[in-house]
Every structure is written in structure tokens, then in C-alpha cells.
A and B are shown apart, each in its own frame.
Chain A
Amino acid sequence: MSNSGVVQYDNIFHNLEQNAGRLRFTKGGLGWKPTADSSGAAGSSSQTHTLEAERFRSFQWYKAARGYQLRINIDSESETEPPRDCFDGFKKEDYERVADMVRDLYDATLEAVETSTRGWNWGKAEIEDSDVRFYVKDKLAFEVPVAHIANSNIAGKTEVSMEFVHPESQQPATNTGATSGSGNKSGKKIRGDQLVEMRLHVPGTVDKSGGDDDDA
């Protein structure tokens, strides 16, 4: 371990932001700083972020789309603040180093959480913390933050639909040129595809008193 008490990781993403950056930990907390944007796009959407260690509650390790994720569950200070800070872009081999750091700096453990990659579309949906989580055989397949659900409908007796808001469509800074003409503005920043709606079949409430759709 480093003697300076600073542990640093490069090329790490903060939450769903598009810019990678440098993540540093000290006993006092963490700091994340986006890597200088060489493409010169106006008004980088990523900002320096800090969090004091007193607010760290627990540490988890997930496989995410962008490498591995260090998830720090925190006590949110308001209803709108997400109850966690997520950092993506770790390598599988980083696990030991991160676990050591979490132990040495914060006297805590890093819990590795196994996610489902079975490829099934059935399982259990649960509302936990501030997420709708979908489990396949008791393993987390995906989650959607309740705060991002703009609209939810019960369509029919067994169907629930959810529409999602996109943070970028609410930020004037990035809702201008960047969103629309993403083609030639800055070839560097790649915008991911966006989930806009999801429908679930939830049996629950309806009991099968007499197979009612027997018309096949």
C-alpha cells in the first residue's frame, strides 16, 4: 500500500457520465476529477466530485457494462440524492487492491455481488432502496432508479409500464447542440443508447379463478 495514504485509479467513470477521470481516495473521503477533454466540446458535462468518508456506508463490487463497478452506498441527504456513488471502469484484477484499500482506509469490507447473465426475461421484480431491481434466480440482472421513472402505468390487470426520463434532456447545458447533432460535434464522446420504456408482466393481483382466456 502507498505510504502517502492516497490511493488513485485512472480511467474511472462516475455514475453514468461519459467522461472518464481520476479517482482518489484518502482517509477523509474521495475525489473524482474528469480527464481534461481534448475534443474541446463546450461545457464538459462532468464535474469534479467529492464525498466525505463519514457518509460511506458500505462497499460493493459489481460487473458493469464498463468493466467493474465500485459502488459506495451512502446516506443520502435529500430525497433526490441517489443513495450511492458508483464508479465504473475498474478491471477484474483491481478487486484485491480495492478490497485492501477499503479495509485499510475505512475499516470496511468490499462485498462482491454476483449479477445474472443467464439471459432470461423472467424472475422477480423488487423495489429496494430507490430502485426497481430485477432478479433472475436470486441474482441481480438489472436495476432502474425509481427517480428516473417519469411515468408509470398499470396497463391491464397484469402489466406495468415505466417510462424513463433522461438526465441530459433536463440539463440545458447538454440539451442544446450536444444532444441533437451528436454526429459531427465531437466524435470523441459516444452517447449510449437510451432506455425509454419498459413493460413488465406482473401476475400478483389477479387470481386464476377459471381460465378466462380459453379462446385459443
Chain B
Amino acid sequence: EGGHDKGKTFKKFESYKRAELIPTKAQDLKVMVDVRNSSIILPIYGFAVPFHINTLKNVSKNEEGEFTYLRFNFISPGQIAGRKDDTPFEDPDATFVRSMTFRSSDTYHFAELFKDITELKKQAAKREAEKKELSD
């Protein structure tokens, strides 16, 4: 499958049209989920940085000493499991964020996030599958 129509293979998604639409809760400088906008918001050096759920491949959680770690794996080239039609792999020069790992001493907070993000991802995948089915 070669995708002769490059413009169509990549469906545009956008977390927020404007920065002021980012929930004020982001001021806590914590990882958060915005279900309504299908996005996760990551605190990176003072910025609240959204990532659309479509860019997320999966999230993993592990505990080590007093910290809980969440690792966000994003869809990027060179992964067989990637959903190729949703990301612009046509651009050979693009740099991709492949993963980010955060830590917190709040086990509960990260356990909830893990649950919520996994659920959001599941719902997004389901919607995508339904859409595909309809268009066939």
C-alpha cells in the first residue's frame, strides 16, 4: 500500500486552537488528562505541553523506590505497530518525540493517570476503528 494521495493519508488533529484554551489546572505543573480535548498535558520546564491522544502509542508505569514512573511512548517512525496513516511519515526530515518519562512521589496520582490515559487511548482507538468501518 503506497498511498498515492499523500495529502489524504494524514488526518489533521489538533489539541487546542489557542494556548488560553489549555485548562488552568495545568498550573499545578503535573501531568494531566483532558478527555474533552483528547489530549494529555505534560509539564515541561514551566510549559504545559499538550499531546493529542493520537500521537500516543502507549503508556507504561513502574515503581522504583519512592517514585512512580510513567513513560509515554509516542508513535514514531520505525515502529511496526505504528498507525502509519495518522502521522506524516511522508516528511523525512521531521524529528519525533519518541518517549518521555516522568516521575512522581505521588503513587495514587500516577496510578489514576495511568488508568485514565489507557482508557482514553482505548476509546480513541475504538472510535477510529468505527470510523474506518463506516467508510469502507
Give every chain A residue within 8 A of B92 (Cβ-Cβ).
203, 208
Interface residues in A187-215 (C-beta closer than 8 Å to B): 190-203, 208, 213
Question: Which of B16-24, B115-123, B125-133 lies on the face that meets chain A?
Answer: B16-24
Known: A191-B105, A195-B102. A65 touches B43 (CB 8 A): yes
Interface size class of chain A, counting residues whose CB lies under 8 Å from the partner chain: 35 or more
Query: CB distance B45 to A119 under 8 Å?
Result: no
B49: A residues at CB distance < 8 A:
141-142
Whether A152 is near chain B, meaning CB under 8 Å from some CB there, is no
- Is A25 part of the binding interface, using a Cβ–Cβ cutoff of 8 Å? no
- Answer whether residue A23 sits at the interface, using C-beta atoms and an 8 A cutoff: no
User: Smallest Cβ distance from A84 to chain B, in angstroms?
Assistant: 11
Whether the Cβ atoms of A192 and B95 lie closer than 8 Å is: no
The reply to whether the CB of B74 lies closer than 8 angstroms to some CB of chain A is yes
A65-B18 in contact (CB<8A): no
Q: How far is the CA of A90 from the CA of B101 in the complex (A)?
A: 29
Given A195-B100, A196-B102, A201-B77; A143-B29 close (CB under 8 Å): no
Indicate if the CB atoms of A193 and B99 lie closer than 8 Å: no
- The minimal Cβ–Cβ distance linking B4 to chain A, given in whole angstroms, is 18
Q: Does A86 contact B (CB under 8 A)?
A: yes
CB within 8 Å for A195 and B46 given contacts A63-B20, A125-B95, A201-B76: no
List, in ascending order, chain B residues with CB within 8 A of A15's CB: 46
Interface residues of B in 76-113 (CB under 8 A from A): 76-78, 80, 87-88, 91-106, 109
Given A121-B75, A122-B87, A196:B95 Cβ within 8 A: no
Is A16 touching B45 in the complex (CB atoms < 8 A)? Answer: yes
**A-B residue pairs in contact (CB < 8 Å), sample of 11:** A62-B47, A63-B22, A69-B46, A92-B20, A115-B19, A121-B76, A121-B96, A123-B95, A202-B95, A203-B94, A208-B92
Residues of A within 8 A of B (CB): 15-16, 62-67, 69, 86, 88, 92, 114-115, 117-125, 134, 141-145, 148, 158-159, 179-180, 182-183, 190-203, 208, 213, 216
